[in-house]
């Protein structure tokens, strides 16, 4: 938690608290308070022209009012929110390089994570159980070397958080201010903030709007060296994150999907356009130039291996199909599948079907 801000940082925080100003106007406003002579007047004139004399002067008064500043900083401190401003040493370099970097990042949790190497993991709310399990698993492995950045939503985002949470190397980027945290994910978000970090470019009271989800996606892409899309339908928010990442010159990766899976069409389209195909954490580590000790294959008995082989062979496989292929009774298949599930090698995908992960 940062309690001391330099005068420059304070100025940024105060200016950012003016909800009546747009991003550009905030920049002009800061310029009009910072610069000297003509330039200063130039920006002031623009603001007066667009906002009107009264509003501008009021804001100027507010800006120099130390009581107002105290109030703003107090309310942030009360919420345990630290501000990482554009002028702060903690502000991630990657994010500075995007066209419209947030002036202030409102952060709650372990702000040191911002200076880690980061990878974004995004996907759609409606994903296959297999993709979700795979997403959790890969995020768990990624955290050995990287910090995972994602949003807060059902489906892929939640799966990513669950996978990365144990290590604490997780950053969740919110679509609105911290106060407007969605009730459905309150407990998940609380866990993230306890071990990892949540950030937002909006002051606490700002409510998430439709368009802010897209703005948020630019931060997810901007914060990270690469973006992994675990699931995306033809039209999906995850694709906007991917396109931001591509615009910023970051790597884009996607899970491959078999034909006809609606929640994977977007991913396949990305790969077609040149995104990296990602099957496991190693694909990401190699892209980031990281090395990882090779994991040994799990220890399986002969019959476990047979069942596992049958499941790996066919995507989603029904229990009676496994029984047929392996020649075992359905009961044995059920027991072995439970064991493989406990070992984390397979998952149930519904309707008594299993898939390898």
335 binds other proteins (CB under 8 A): yes
> Mask: binding to other proteins, 250-289, rule CB under 8 A, as x and -?
------------x---------------------------
In SS3 terms, 266-299 reads as HHHHHHHCCCEECCCHHHHHHHCCCCCCCCCCCC
167 binds other proteins (CB under 8 A): no
- The size of the interface with other proteins (CB under 8 A), counted in residues, is 37
Q: Which two tokens stand for residue 230?
A: 């675990």
Count of residues for the chain? 357
Q: Which two tokens stand for residue 229?
A: 């899309």
334 binds other proteins (CB under 8 A): yes
Of the listed pieces 81-89, 236-244, 245-253, 338-346, which binds other proteins according to CB under 8 A?
Answer: 338-346
Of the listed pieces 14-22, 74-82, 127-135, 137-145, which binds other proteins according to CB under 8 A?
Answer: 127-135
Q: Is 341 exposed, middle or buried (0-12, 13-18, 19+ CB in 10 A)?
A: middle
Nearest to other proteins of 80, 262 (CB atom): 262
Nearest to other proteins of 35, 335 (CB atom): 335
Query: Residue 343 in 3-state DSSP?
Result: coil
Q: Is 6 exposed, middle or buried (0-12, 13-18, 19+ CB in 10 A)?
A: exposed
Nearest to other proteins of 282, 335 (CB atom): 335
Query: Residue 106 in 3-state DSSP?
Result: strand
From the list 49, 126, 207, 235, which residue makes contact with other proteins (rule: CB under 8 A)? 126
What number of other Cβ atoms are within 10 A of residue 252's Cβ?
24
Least separation, in Å, of the C-beta of 163 and other proteins? 12
> Mask: binding to other proteins, 96-125, rule CB under 8 A, as x and -?
-----------------------------x
Residues 40-99 that bind other proteins (CB under 8 A): none
The single residue listed with the structure tokens 């994602």 is 150
Residues 184-243 that bind other proteins (CB under 8 A): 184
From the list 37, 289, 293, 350, which residue makes contact with other proteins (rule: CB under 8 A)? 350
Q: Which two tokens stand for residue 218?
A: 């630019």
Nearest to other proteins of 100, 262 (CB atom): 262
6 binds other proteins (CB under 8 A): no
Cα(54)–Cα(136) distance, integer angstroms: 53
Closest CA to 127 of 227, 233, 228: 233
Residues with Cβ within 8 Å of residue 340, at least 6 apart in sequence? 304, 307, 308, 311, 346, 354
319 binds other proteins (CB under 8 A): yes
Cα(170)–Cα(297) distance, integer angstroms: 27
Helix (H) or strand (E) holding 354: strand 353-356
Residues 129-158 that bind other proteins (CB under 8 A): 129, 132-133, 154-155
Least separation, in Å, of the C-beta of 349 and other proteins? 7
Cα(204)–Cα(176) distance, integer angstroms: 8
Q: Which residues bind other proteins (CB under 8 A)?
A: 125-126, 129, 132-133, 154-155, 159, 184, 262, 316, 318-321, 323-324, 330-332, 334-339, 341-344, 347-353
């Amino acid at each position: 938690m940062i309690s001391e801000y330099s005068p420059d940082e304070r100025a940024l925080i105060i200016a950012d608290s003016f909800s009546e100003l747009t991003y550009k106007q905030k920049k002009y406003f800061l310029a009009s308070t910072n610069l000297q002579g003509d330039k200063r007047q130039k920006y002031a004139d623009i603001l007066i022209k667009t906002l009107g004399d009264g509003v501008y002067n009021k804001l100027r008064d507010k800006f120099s009012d130390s009581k107002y500043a105290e109030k703003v900083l107090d309310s942030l401190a009360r919420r345990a929110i630290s501000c990482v401003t554009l002028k702060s040493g903690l502000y991630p370099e990657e994010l500075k390089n995007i066209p419209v970097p947030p002036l202030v990042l409102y952060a709650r949790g372990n702000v040191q994570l911002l200076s880690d190497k980061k990878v974004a993991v995004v996907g759609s709310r409606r994903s296959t159980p297999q993709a979700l399990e795979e997403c959790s698993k890969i995020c768990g492995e990624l955290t050995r070397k990287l910090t995972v950045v994602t949003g807060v939503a059902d489906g892929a985002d939640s799966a990513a958080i669950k996978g990365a949470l144990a290590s604490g190397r997780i950053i969740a980027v919110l679509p609105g201010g911290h106060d407007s945290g969605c009730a459905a994910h309150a407990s998940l978000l609380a866990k993230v903030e306890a071990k990892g970090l949540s950030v937002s470019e909006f002051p606490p009271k700002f409510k998430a709007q439709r368009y802010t989800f897209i703005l948020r996606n630019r931060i997810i892409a901007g914060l990270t060296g690469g973006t992994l899309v675990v699931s995306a339908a033809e039209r999906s928010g995850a694709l906007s994150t991917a396109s931001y990442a591509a615009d910023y010159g970051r790597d884009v990766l996607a899970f491959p999907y078999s034909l006809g899976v609606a929640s994977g069409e977007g991913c396949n389209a990305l790969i077609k356009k040149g995104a990296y195909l990602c099957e496991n954490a190693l694909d990401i580590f190699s892209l980031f130039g990281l090395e990882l000790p090779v994991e040994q294959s799990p220890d399986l008995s002969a019959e476990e291996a047979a069942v596992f082989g049958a499941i790996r062979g066919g995507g989603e496989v029904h229990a009676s199909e496994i029984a047929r292929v392996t020649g075992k009774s359905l009961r044995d298949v059920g027991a072995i599948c439970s064991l493989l599930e406990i070992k984390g090698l397979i998952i149930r995908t519904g309707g008594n079907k299993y898939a390898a992960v």
